[in-house]
Amino acid sequence: MNFSGLIDNFGPLTVAGLAQGAIIALFALGYTLVYGVLRLINFAHSEVFLVGTYACLIIWGWFGLDQNSARPDFGAMLGYMALGLVAAIVVSGTVALGVELVAYRPLRRRNAPPLAFLITAIGASLAISEFVGVATHRNQRGVPPIIQARTVITIGNTHITNLQILIIALALVMMFVLDRFINGSRLGRGIRAVAQNPDSAALMGVNKSRVISLVFLLGGLMAGIAAVMYDLKIGVTKYDAGFLLGIDAFTAAVLGGIGNLRGALLGGLLLGVLQSWAAGLFGSNWLHAAAFVLLVLILMFRPSGLLGESLGRARA
């Protein structure tokens, strides 16, 4: 245990944790949205994220960028960022819709037991990550330096980089937009209605199938953004990247109260910071173990997560 290490580096660890937590939070939204509506763990969501991490790399690759390229100037950077984000969002969204169509819809028609959905999702997750694994020869792929991390704010020994600010800000903005969409728009009202009571919603004229597709799509969009942020922050991606971060994201969703959008944000940021602190205290090998111990402790006292289950305020 390295207490002095934690205390000396408290600021940097916290900021790094917040940035990681912002990515986890965006990723966790997919789990929480689907759970809120279908009451199912969308196990394949980790692969929705994974294809996002590759989609933007492939687009950047078309422009001849690889990890050894020189850093582009500001205008080009903006263009590449926009292209990468669009590519990741489109591909992740499409894959999310595809997963719903292949692994969920046929079972829903047959009114299968909940475990069956979990297993088809596991099957989809396995198939996608393994195909990516085979296609990339299980090698990791480097990310071109679109944005060079550079310190912009210094408080004491805490150096906050432009990348960290970008990630946290983007996550907060997306959360706000999504929250407004769910709570303020007509489509969002449909989502909340189905989350509250699927049968009544269907009787009131809500198209349940369309709402479910929409929910998968929204989760996919958020995962796509998280994927680009992940690429820029970590610098490499690999076929199992989705699975590993997916565990964190799912943990975060549960921590905040699965099915609850604001819970996902809180859970994600909290988990990121806690993991970062745990890495400082026990060494980075132990970060996941510490996070899980904490999760168990929190669930012992609040069995349905910090903010409780509800999609938006529909169930409150």
Q: Which residues of this chain interact with another protein, rule CB under 8 A?
A: 35, 41, 102-103, 106-113, 115-116, 118-120, 122-128, 130-131, 133-134, 199, 202, 208-209, 243, 247, 250-251, 254, 258, 285-286, 288-289, 291-293, 295-296, 299-300, 303-305
Report the C-alpha gap between 125 and 135 in whole angstroms.
15
φ and ψ at 146, to 5 degrees? -65, -45
Q: How far is residue 34 CA from its own chain's centroid?
A: 13
φ and ψ at 32, to 5 degrees? -75, -35
Query: Measured from the CB atom, is 129 or 161 closer to another protein?
Result: 129
Query: Measured from the CB atom, is 134 or 173 closer to another protein?
Result: 134
Task: In angstroms, give the least distance from the CB of 277 to another protein.
Answer: 17
How long, in residues, is the chain? 316
Q: What is the sign, positive or negative, of the torsion defined by CA atoms of 192, 197, 202, 203?
A: negative
Beta strands (DSSP E) in 11-157 are: 141-142, 151-155
Numbers of helices and strands, H then E, in the chain: 13, 4
Q: In 10 A of CB 215, how many CB atoms?
A: 26
Query: Measured from the CB atom, is 77 or 107 closer to another protein?
Result: 107
Task: In angstroms, give the least distance from the CB of 166 to another protein.
Answer: 30
Task: Please measure the distance between the N-terminal and C-terminal CA atoms of the chain and give it in whole angstroms.
Answer: 41
Report the C-alpha gap between 36 and 215 in whole angstroms.
9
Query: Measured from the CB atom, is 12 or 98 closer to another protein?
Result: 98
257: three-class secondary structure by DSSP: coil
Task: In angstroms, give the least distance from the CB of 132 to another protein.
Answer: 9
* The two three-digit tokens of residue 269, written as one number: 């940021």
Task: In angstroms, give the least distance from the CB of 68 to another protein.
Answer: 29
What does each C-alpha distance from 50 to 39, 186, 291 come to in angstroms?
Answer: 23, 31, 22
Query: Measured from the CB atom, is 68 or 111 closer to another protein?
Result: 111
Task: In angstroms, give the least distance from the CB of 296 to another protein.
Answer: 6
Task: In angstroms, give the least distance from the CB of 286 to another protein.
Answer: 7
* The two three-digit tokens of residue 102, written as one number: 């292949």
Query: Measured from the CB atom, is 139 or 185 closer to another protein?
Result: 139
Query: Measured from the CB atom, is 149 or 294 closer to another protein?
Result: 294
Task: In angstroms, give the least distance from the CB of 18 to another protein.
Answer: 22
Q: Match 């917040």 to its residue by tokens.
A: 18
- Return all residues near 151 (Cβ < 8 A) that are at least 6 apart: 159, 160, 161
Query: Measured from the CB atom, is 84 or 256 closer to another protein?
Result: 256
Task: In angstroms, give the least distance from the CB of 152 to another protein.
Answer: 35
